[in-house]
Amino acid sequence: MKCTKTAAFSLLILIIMGIFSVQGSANSNQILSMGQSVYVPVYSHIYHGDREKQFNLTATLSIRNTNLEKEIMLHSIDYFDSNGEFLKHYLEVPIVLKNFSTIRYVIKATDKSGGSGAKFIVKWKSKMLSNAPLIEAIMISTQSGQGISFVSRGRAIHE
């Protein structure tokens, strides 16, 4: 049976969707904290086909304050490449993320410096116990009539 490029690419999409699916109830991710360091996986490209052709992606880091009445402080947003080498500070000074607000940072599809194993480390703090922010990276691209998008969710690596 001969497999077309479209079928192979569709299979790749299904595999990625399975890897990054999120399960659990609405309350399963509720965490109270006074601050965390959060690891967020980012992909500047993924590979497809037998020759591992690169499929470049635009990535958006989204940080959402899930508190209805409390602000949080973002202390640092740092971007690292696949080898763990520092690439860029996205904050020069800490900023306040007001209650129930969102901030985003975009990495263009032409910026391949991070590689397929790029990541952000986001450090946030609060003056009192607070809901942890929802921190995600959204990757998207279209090429040659094909489109792909997926989300990776941040994980606290340090309180």
Query: What are the pLDDT tens digits along the chain (159 aa)?
Result: 455 666 556 555 555 555 554 444 444 556 799 999 999 999 999 988 898 889 899 999 999 999 999 999 999 999 999 999 999 999 999 999 999 999 999 999 999 999 999 999 999 999 999 999 999 999 999 987 888 999 999 999 998
Spatial contact of 150 and 62, defined as CB atoms under 8 Å apart: no
Q: How far apart are CA 30 and CA 14, in angstroms?
A: 28
- Enter the CATH code of domain 34-158: 2.60.290
Instruction: Please provide the distance, in angstroms rounded to a whole number, between the alpha carbons at the two ends of the chain.
Output: 52
Q: How far apart are CA 19 and CA 52, in angstroms?
A: 19
Q: How far apart are CA 49 and CA 30, in angstroms?
A: 39
Q: What are phi and psi of 15, to 5 degrees?
A: -65, -45
pLDDT for res 49? 85
Q: Tokens for 85, please give them.
A: 């080498």
SS3 at position 75: strand
Amino acid (1-letter code) at residue 143: Q
Query: Of all residues in the chain, what percent are helix, strand and coil, respectively (each to 5)?
Result: 10, 55, 40
pLDDT for res 12? 57
pLDDT for res 24? 44
Q: How far apart are CA 133 and CA 106, in angstroms?
A: 18
Residue boundaries of the structural domains of the chain: 34-158
Q: Tokens for 12, please give them.
A: 């790749």
**Residue 19: partners with Cβ closer than 8 Å, 6 or more residues away:** none
